[in-house]
Every structure is written in C-alpha cells, then in structure tokens.
Amino acid sequence: MSLSNSLISLPEIDQIMEQSMKSFLDFKKVNALDRAAFLERIAFEIEALGEELIKTTQEETNLPEARLLGERGRTTMQLRMFAAMLKEGSWVEASIDHAIPDKVPAKPDIRKMLVPTGPVVVFGASNFPYAYSTAGGDTASALASGCSVVVKAHPAHLKTSTLIASAIDKAIVCTNMPTHCFQHVAGNSFEIGKALVQHSFTSAVGFTGSFSGGRALYDYAAVRPKPIPVFSEMGSTNPVLLLPDALTLNAETIAIQYAGSITLGVGQFCTNPGILMGVSSDGLERFKKALANAIEQIAPSKMLHDGILKAYQNNRSKALQTKGVSALSNEVSSIENFATPVIAQVAGIDFLQNENLKEEVFGPYAILVECADIEELKNVWNTLSGQLTTSIMGTDVDFESQPDLIEMATLIAGRVLLNGVPTGVEVCASMVHGGPYPATTDSRFTAVGINAVKRWVRPVCFQNCPDHLLPDALKEQNPLKIKRMIDGNPYQ
Amino acid sequence: MSLSNSLISLPEIDQIMEQSMKSFLDFKKVNALDRAAFLERIAFEIEALGEELIKTTQEETNLPEARLLGERGRTTMQLRMFAAMLKEGSWVEASIDHAIPDKVPAKPDIRKMLVPTGPVVVFGASNFPYAYSTAGGDTASALASGCSVVVKAHPAHLKTSTLIASAIDKAIVCTNMPTHCFQHVAGNSFEIGKALVQHSFTSAVGFTGSFSGGRALYDYAAVRPKPIPVFSEMGSTNPVLLLPDALTLNAETIAIQYAGSITLGVGQFCTNPGILMGVSSDGLERFKKALANAIEQIAPSKMLHDGILKAYQNNRSKALQTKGVSALSNEVSSIENFATPVIAQVAGIDFLQNENLKEEVFGPYAILVECADIEELKNVWNTLSGQLTTSIMGTDVDFESQPDLIEMATLIAGRVLLNGVPTGVEVCASMVHGGPYPATTDSRFTAVGINAVKRWVRPVCFQNCPDHLLPDALKEQNPLKIKRMIDGNPYQ
C-alpha cells in the first residue's frame, strides 16, 4: 500500500522496510499463477486510470500524448510479459540431479531453483515516466520474482508516480496480495535514497538515471556491512561506426536515419547515438552535408524539465568550446526554453586528446569524429568506455575488409547493431539492455526483457529432500510442466 | 605461461595483466571444442605429474595421501566436466527473436548469447590445494568461459601450485593455446593481491578463504573507477537443526554421523557443521552423550599448517570462555601440534546474547545450542548470518508440526539439506555452493558445478546481424546443435 503523496522522513524508512520484509515473507509464498494475476491486474488498473494519467504526465514531463500512449502500452505489455513468464514457469531454472546410491561416495539427490532475494528498492527514470518508473521494468520484474518492492518516486513526475502507485494498490486489494508487497515513497533529499539503499532489509536496488546518481547508490551499497547488488543503468554515448562502403552507397539515407534517431524524443533516450565515427572520404562529406541539412529542419522541442534543458545547453557548449570542435549544423531556429538539435564535429586526433568529448551530452546532440583512416577510427572506438549499444553501418565489402569489427563490438557494448539505429529497445527475450561500466554497474544483467527478473533472484538447492516437501518446480512428477535440466542434460 | 617460482614485484603486475588482456583477445576466439581439448589436456598433465605432486602436497599441507588422491580426482573430473559442457554447448544461453517486419514499429532480428568478460584473477584456497586452487573450480570455469586467468599462488602450498601451473603450461603448448591465457604469480604481500584486483584489465576475481581476506578484495574492487565483481567464498558455520522426533528415534545414529562430519579432514572444510541446535529433551540428552563419546574417540590430527592450528586453538578457547559455554566433550588425548576435536555447549538464551559464538571456529569444533523450545530454536537460527548450507534432521512428524522450516531455510543458505551432513559437496549441475553474505560476496552464483562458469560471462545481443557474421551459436541453422530459446519459447 503506498504512502500518501507527502514526503517521508528518515525515521519512517525503518517502518517501511520492516513492512516490506514482512510482506516479502508472505509474498514469496504466493503461487506463480496468483502473482501473474496480480501483474495483469496492475496492467488493467493502469489502463483504467485513462486520460487523467496521460494528462498528468504531459503536464509533468512535456512529453507528447502519442509518446505517452505508446509508453503506457509498453508498460502494460511488460507487466503481461512477466505474467506470461510466470505462467510458463521455466524461468526458475529448475535442475534435478537424481541420487546414485551405488556411487562411491554415494551421490545424494540434489535439486536447484531460483528464489527471490528480498525487498527491492527501485529508483525510476525521469525520461520513462511509465516504462522505467513506478510500475516499469524494474518493479514488474521484481514483483514477478517474488520480491517486495519499495519505489522511491521520481520528483520530476511525482503526481504520475502517485497515480500509478494507486493503480498498483488497487491491484493488491483486488488480487488479495500482501498489503505492503509494494510501497511508494517520496522524498527529495539524497539522504532518503541513501537510507533506503543502506537499510539492512534491502536486498537489491534498481536505478535508471545519471552516472553520478547511479554510482553514488552503488557506493552506498558497497560499504554496507552486508553488501547488496545495485543495478544502475546510467549514461551511454552509443557510438556508431560509419564504414566507407556504406557511406559511398548510402550516405544520404544513413544521414536521414540518424538525424531521426539523434533527435527522437528530444534526444532523451539512454540509447541516443551521441558519437558518430567515420573516415575522411567523399562519402563522409556527403553524409555530413545531409546530416546537417536534416538536423536543421528539425524544430526545437521542450525537454522533460528546465533542469535537463539547462544541463543540455551547458554540456553542449562545453563540448563545442573544446579545442578542435566546431558545429556541423547551424542553429537555424531557436525558441526560448526549447532544445535545438546540434551536431558537432572534430578530427579523430583532437577527439583522442580531449577526454570530456567522450562524455554523454543528454539531449538532441551528437558529435561526428572524422578519422584519418580506419585504424584511427578503431582507436577512437576502443578508447570509449562501456556502452549500452554500439552500431556499425557497413556493407558486406566493409565487413570483409574489417572482419574483426563485430568481435571488437562485443567488448564494448551489451547490444551490437548492424545497419540500424540504437533508439527503440525491443522488449523480448533476446534483448540485452545493459553493458560494461559505466553504461551499467553490472553488465551481467539486462534491464529489458524477461531476463530482467534474474537480477532479483539467487539459486538454492535442496539435498535429500522428500518429494512432498519440495517446491512444486522441483517435484519429481513435474506438476508445473516446466522445462528442467535433468541429471545435467539441458532442458528436458 | 607461468612465471618462475620467484616472488613478483608490483611493477611486474602491469606486464602480467597486459599479457593476460592480450591473450584474452585471442583466447576468446578459440572455438569451444579446442577449449575443451585444452581443459582435458590440463587434466591429463596433472595426472602425469604422478607421485611427485602428491608427495609435494603432503609435505606442504599435512593432508593424507588418500585425501589428496581423491581431491586430485575431483580436480581432473571438474576440468573434464567443463570440457563436456563446452562440447555440449547450450551453456551460452543462446536466444533468438526473429524479425517481425509487419509489426508497428517493426521488430528487428535480435539474438543473444553469453560472452567472456576478460582477464580473471584467482586466489586459491589453502584447504583445497587442488580442487579450489591453481587448476581448481575457479580456474577451470574461467578458462571454460573463454576468460584468461591469472592465479595468485597460495603461499601455504607454493610448490604444489607451481607444479600444477607447469601442467597447465604444458597443456597450453600441446594444444596451441595463446601463451598467456594462464599465468601463475607468487607474492606474499597483500599489496600484490590488491594490485591484481585493482588493475584496470582485471574483469572479475575469484577467491576462496577467510572472511577478512574475501571482504578486503571485495572492498578493493568496489572502489575501483570501474568496479568489477568479486566472488569471495568465505566462512560458514553451516547450522544444523536437530528436531525432537528425529532425536527421539535416532539420537545415537545422528550423533555418530555428525561426529564424523565435524571432524572430517580435521574440520577444515567450508561446509563443516559448526552450530548444532536442539530443544531440551531426553532425545537431546542422549544425542549429547553419544556425540561426546564419539568425539572423544577421534584421535588428534595435524592441521594444514601451524598458523591454522594456532587460530583454531585461540578461537576455540575464546568460545569456551564465553559466559554460559562449557565443554560437552573432554580432551581425552592431546598431542603437541595436533588439533583435538572439541564440542562446546550453551543454552539458547546465552547464545543469543553473545555475538562471538556465531563466528566460525575453523577446525574440528562445533557448539551445541540447547534451546528451551522450538520457538527459541527458530529464533537462534534466524539470528545467524548467511550460510553456505543449513541442515535439518527431522522426521515426517517433525516437518508436519513445523511446516515453515524449509521455507525459512531458503532465506538463510544456498544449500538446504535434509537428514544428512553438509560436508561432501557433490559436483553436479544442481549444486549451489554459495549463499547469502557473509558466506559469499555474491549469493547469485555458485562456485561448484557447471553453473560456476556463469560468474565470468555477460550477455551480448546482436541486432539485425547477417547470418554469416553471427557467432555459430546464433546462426539460424544451429550448426552447433545446441538448445536455444526461440522467439521467447524456452529451449527448442
């Protein structure tokens, strides 16, 4: 049950986390089908909020109605996806090794499955007020796993968050779930976040936002007497390689594609392509011209809030004032309090000498790095830190002459794209939305897709346990009819 | 290729890690069957060391020949198990989502698999000179994943470690692996360990040993500019519940079973049962008498080294001098420099008031906690920190009257045993050798069994990648014939 809209104080955190732990102990026993019904009911109750939700969020975030309708659809789809995962059931990675009494020494019966870790604290994103916020991917996957959840509302869309929390509360009542399996708290001081992360009952943390915020939560967790995992999804510049043959053949098409990706949602996506790299050539000149033209035709737009706009303008200015950097596109039109898309350009040699150019400029911005040759381009690519995505625009001719590029890409990013744009994260089982630090604090997990549930579980095995005392997932007759590993053979 | 036996200095670490990273980039491209042949060859070369290895280790560790032969067999079995895993191939968790061009927006083709993270640093255990040391579970699983490995030799068995390293070096040459995919370094200062963990090329750390050592490595890693996972397997007291009906029926049998487990290998196993809990009853009195009798008949033995013996004697004395604690068994015989098994006893109420009694006493020792009733017993159990294992000795009558015990056990430990002893860790797919902190620093992973490989990998997905450029595991025609998730359906 969510608290009211009022801000909480530090002493209240003890009570909230105690309630969360108490509810967790009940919630983890709720059977998977009932948990699935709960998630489906949350989706239903979010839809039932109707126009009030959309209007409230428009006021709080400046995001257009069509985008919010789409994001709401994605949010309810995610909840239903985790419900389907629970109904199917194989996600618990059940594994059975039968006893071999004749072995020396005798092999005991051992059976393993995943269990939830405990209360999870979620810090939602400002740029996804639905899909990565209060009832977003972190909350949905944690509830699916059987963990209780405490959401710290994002202050930039507190009314939206409170509305969504009310929908979850209704679903709790309707489906008869433990009262505090979900709680919603608000607080503007960073001390509240710190206290939630450091509370002894907190078992894991999900965060989507800035590098400084995500790293701070990680550091708070690491110095706990009992450290816990923190899944911070932070910044990414999503570097793009523009290979020579692709530019020769399709410079203009690629430019238009990327102008759209760079400015999609006013550049406020974590997969926004922020660094483009190419080798000096006629094709690159054509690309630059076409990209500048396309960008200059895109009208300025409002960002999520004024703080984000100011940060965009400051970071962009800093980048443009760096030695060797110039504007590739001109600010044709500008409107007060609106963000104008901008493309910067720099030579590879200057890029390599200015660390600050590698940092994300959150907003409708990218920098084009013009390299002297393919070796310099690879060099630039390799000096970048860990990324959510990296994209390669290339033809078969390009890949034949540079056969190691895809292998290299896997070292840099969680998602490797060929001939596409990184914005638009498909929600499916194969998606990896995560990547080497500083893209995330734990590259072994994804924040999107059903595997996101794996962040909130740990394996437990049962040795020599009579069948009737085992969880259903591990009973000999497989009453849940799930896929299991049997005696080391995958997925029988 | 291993360095010589000589101790390394801090400046050499840069060179070692650079070599490790360079070899990693080649080693990760080695195909799985060739990696399997390499692991098998390591097993062969270890066996080829013959008697020299066993004799050297006997001198360094005081462990008897039969135990070392058994442990060598386990070590080579583990290497062959990971080779078999590589040949079978499904461990990469391949997942394919086909494109749906008609969807709005269009769904791209996305394919996911696990890839190795980079150079891994391994700190071996003193108590398992083969199976959890130089070519033990951490090294075998990391090499299987495609990670390069740097082993920091345990100073207590440096000659053994160097011999094993020479066997790995031979296997590298014979199977034509990248020269530095395995390196062996020695150094007595903790600064060496710290520098290895904090080197920018290190991607993950495996450690088996003391709580202070394991936590220190975790802390070094957490404050890196780019944090990395540290898998420390540390101490555990492996609490045992002795339920009333089980004692009534089988007090003497259980006592003999546990006398064996407590003193197995001079109590030098991480799964050694250190805390036994029962409710005052005639059955418990019979158990105490039988346990004391059995323990007093077990002859003193040499521990791994004098430092461990001294720590055992000191920690045991401290426990015995705690308020309310008395000896349950008498020191019938003692031999200088040998460890005598001892059982302590304490009332539940006194145990709860003395935090130090919850700490592991590494050696042939256990404390019996006598509780006033089952509620106090549960209370004692619940106040213990995270454990590798917890065991319950109970009959159907016991479990019927206490139906929540198994559920409670999953909150405490990674392995829940019924009517058995925790010593003896079966190497199989269902084994979980791990548990909530402080048993390990990351309860989401196991150090034993094929899933140990999951510590050294992360998922990467490929979007819109032409079939001929994909890794074999993800090619449409499934040339490796592995189990894969297809369009969200588990394991086709």
Mind spelling out the 3-state secondary structure of A354-399? CHHHHCCCCCCEEEEEEECCHHHHHHHHHHCCCEEEEEEECCHHHH
Residues 6+ apart with CB under 8 A from A314: none
Compare all CA atoms of chain A with the CA of B84 and give the residue at the minimum distance. A488
- Decide if A431 is inside a domain: no
pLDDT tens by residue, A427-456: 999 999 999 999 999 999 999 999 999 999
Q: How far apart are CA A65 and CA B395, in angstroms?
A: 62
Task: Work out the number of other CB atoms within 10 angstroms of the CB of residue B105.
Answer: 8
Residues B445 and B405 occupy one common structural domain: no
Per the structure, the count of domains in chain B is 2
Does the interface predicted TM-score (ipTM) exceed 0.90? Answer: yes
pLDDT tens by residue, A164-217: 999 999 999 999 999 999 999 998 778 999 999 999 999 999 999 999 999 999
> Using CA of residue A175, residue A177, residue A180, residue A182, what is the dihedral sign?
negative
Residues A351 and A391 occupy one common structural domain: yes
Q: How far apart are CA A45 and CA A170, in angstroms?
A: 7
- The segments of chain B whose pLDDT lies below 50 read 1-5
Residues A340 and A452 occupy one common structural domain: no
> What tokens appear for B275 in the block?
């805390």
Q: How far apart are CA A36 and CA A91, in angstroms?
A: 13
Residues B338 and B412 occupy one common structural domain: yes
**CA of A1, closest CA in chain B: separation in Å?**
24
Residues A401 and A258 occupy one common structural domain: yes
pLDDT at B158: 96
Task: Work out the number of other CB atoms within 10 angstroms of the CB of residue A335.
Answer: 11
Residues A409 and A469 occupy one common structural domain: no
Say if residues B94 and B474 touch (Cβ distance below 8 Å).
yes
For tokens 């077990």, name the residue.
B298
- Decide if B87 is inside a domain: yes
Would the pLDDT of A374 be above 80? yes
DSSP per position, B134-199 = TTSHHHHHHHHHT--EEEE--GGGHHHHHHHHHHHHHHHHHTT--TTSEEEE---SHHHHHHHHH-
Q: How far apart are CA B488 and CA A85, in angstroms?
A: 9
Nearest to B95 among A218, A396, A430 (CB): A430
- Decide if A491 is inside a domain: no
CA A356 to chain centre: 24
pLDDT tens by residue, A92-118: 999 999 999 999 889 999 999 999 999
Interface touch B420/A450, C-beta < 8 Å: no
- Decide if B2 is inside a domain: no
Nearest to B108 among A407, A426, A441 (CB): A426
Q: Kindly state whether A426 is in contact with chain B, defined as any CB-CB distance less than 8 angstroms.
A: yes
pLDDT at B4: 46
Query: Which residues of B are designated catalytic?
Result: 233, 270
**CA of A311, closest CA in chain B: separation in Å?**
24
Angle in degrees, 0-180, between the axes of helices A32-48 and A137-145, rounded to the nearest 10: 150
Beta pairing partners, B344: B327, B367
**CA of B412, closest CA in chain A: separation in Å?**
10
Segment A297-305 shows an average pLDDT of 94
A147 classed as catalytic:
no
Residues A229 and A130 occupy one common structural domain: yes
- Decide if B64 is inside a domain: yes
- Decide if B425 is inside a domain: no
Q: Kindly state whether A112 is in contact with chain B, defined as any CB-CB distance less than 8 angstroms.
A: yes
Amino acid (1-letter code) at residue B313: Q
Burial of B233 (0-12, 13-18, 19+ CB in 10 A): buried
**Helix, strand, coil fractions of chain B, as percent rounded to 5:** 45, 15, 40
Residues B365 and B254 occupy one common structural domain: yes
- Decide if A434 is inside a domain: no
Compare all CA atoms of chain B with the CA of A103 and give the residue at the minimum distance. B426
Classified as helix, coil or strand, B445 is coil
* Confidence band, pLDDT 50/70/90 cuts, at residue A1: very low
Say if residues B445 and B434 touch (Cβ distance below 8 Å).
yes
Q: How far apart are CA B339 and CA B310, in angstroms?
A: 9
* Confidence band, pLDDT 50/70/90 cuts, at residue A6: low
Compare all CA atoms of chain B with the CA of A218 and give the residue at the minimum distance. B222
Interface touch A465/B416, C-beta < 8 Å: yes
**CA of B330, closest CA in chain A: separation in Å?**
31
Residues A148 and A71 occupy one common structural domain: yes
DSSP per position, B375-436 = HHHHHHHHHS--EEEEEEE--HHHHHH-TTHHHHHHHHEEEEEESS-S-S---STT-----T
A121 membership: H or E segment, kind and range: strand A120-123
Classified as helix, coil or strand, A219 is helix
For tokens 């870790």, name the residue.
A117
Q: How far apart are CA B387 and CA B435, in angstroms?
A: 5
Question: Final residue of a domain: which of B418, B433, B459?
Answer: B418
Residues A481 and A347 occupy one common structural domain: no
Quick one: DSSP state of residue A65?
H
Q: Kindly state whether A442 is in contact with chain B, defined as any CB-CB distance less than 8 angstroms.
A: yes
Chain B contacts in chain A segment 11-40 (CB below 8 A) = 29
Pairing of strands B230-233, B204-208: parallel
Amino acid (1-letter code) at residue B321: Q
For tokens 């449409």, name the residue.
B476
CATH number for the domain spanning A28: value is 3.40.605.10
pLDDT higher for A334 or A127? A127
Mean predicted lDDT score pLDDT of chain A = 95
Which of B408, B443, B463, B478 would you mutate first to test chain A, the one with the most A CBs within 10 A?
Answer: B463
pLDDT tens by residue, A461-479: 999 999 999 999 999 999 9
Angle in degrees, 0-180, between the axes of helices B10-27 and B190-198, rounded to the nearest 10: 40
Amino acid (1-letter code) at residue B102: D
Would the pLDDT of A492 be above 70? no
* Among A482, A462, A479, CA closest to A470: A462
> What tokens appear for B375 in the block?
């509620």
Question: Phi first, then psi: what are they for B284, rounded to 5°?
Answer: -65, -40
Give the strands of the sheet with A457-463, arranged side by side. A485-486, A95-97, A110-116, A457-463, B413-418, B387-393, B240-242, B275-279, B365-371, B342-347, B326-327
Q: Kindly state whether A413 is in contact with chain B, defined as any CB-CB distance less than 8 angstroms.
A: yes
Among the ranges given (A3-12, A161-170, A217-226), the one the predictor scored with the smallest mean pLDDT:
A3-12
**Domain containing B173: what range?**
10-234+441-486
> What tokens appear for A302 in the block?
């409002």
Which region holds residue B76: left if phi is over 0, alpha if psi is between -120 and 50, else beta? alpha
For tokens 């799985």, name the residue.
B32
> What tokens appear for B304 in the block?
């791994």
A148 membership: H or E segment, kind and range: none
pLDDT at B117: 98
Interface touch A432/B219, C-beta < 8 Å: no
Give the active site residue among A40, A45, A71, A233: A233
Residues 6+ apart with CB under 8 A from B267: B312, B339, B341, B362, B363, B364, B365
Residues B369 and B464 occupy one common structural domain: no
Task: Work out the number of other CB atoms within 10 angstroms of the CB of residue A260.
Answer: 14
Angle in degrees, 0-180, between the axes of helices B50-61 and B65-88, rounded to the nearest 10: 120
Q: How far apart are CA B203 and CA B195, in angstroms?
A: 13
CATH number for the domain spanning A406: value is 3.40.309.10
Burial of A193 (0-12, 13-18, 19+ CB in 10 A): buried
- Decide if A435 is inside a domain: no
Burial of B457 (0-12, 13-18, 19+ CB in 10 A): buried
A174 classed as catalytic:
no
Compare all CA atoms of chain A with the CA of B391 and give the residue at the minimum distance. A463
**CA of A428, closest CA in chain B: separation in Å?**
7
Residues A481 and A399 occupy one common structural domain: no
Nearest to B431 among A90, A417, A461 (CB): A461
* Residue pairs spanning A and B at CB distance below 8 A: 203
pTM of the model: 0.96
Residues 6+ apart with CB under 8 A from A321: none
Compare all CA atoms of chain A with the CA of B462 and give the residue at the minimum distance. A416
